[in-house]
């Protein structure tokens, strides 16, 4: 078997990471369309816990899951 793996990164971690990033993007775009950029920026910088801050956390967690999915597995 060759060392080249064309399907590398297509596993459960990558799929869940992409799902988290897409859901986070949907929330940000929805709030941008409803409230506008100045309110969304205000929601991101205030002291309360808001959807926008949770979406940023979802981006970070999704990125971590995608990187975890691309990690090389040694047997």
SS3 73: coil
What gap in Å lies between CA 41 and CA 60, rounded to an integer? Answer: 18
In the DSSP assignment, the letter for residue 8 is T
Give residue limits of the domains in the chain.
12-69
C-alpha separations of 21 from 6, 46, 55, 61 in Å: 23, 23, 8, 8
The tens digit of pLDDT for each residue in 27-69 reads: 999 999 999 999 999 999 999 999 999 999 999 999 999 999 8
pTM of the full predicted structure? 0.79
Tell how far CA 53 is from the center of its chain.
12
Query: And the tokens for 63?
Result: 């990125």
């Amino acid at each position: 078997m060759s060392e080249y793996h064309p399907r590398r990164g297509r596993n459960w971690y990558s799929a869940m990471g992409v799902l988290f990033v897409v859901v986070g993007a949907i929330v940000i775009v929805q709030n941008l369309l409803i409230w506008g950029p100045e309110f969304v920026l205000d929601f991101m910088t205030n002291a309360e816990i808001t959807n926008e801050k949770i979406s940023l956390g979802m981006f970070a967690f999704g990125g971590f899951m995608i990187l975890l999915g691309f990690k090389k597995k040694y047997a």
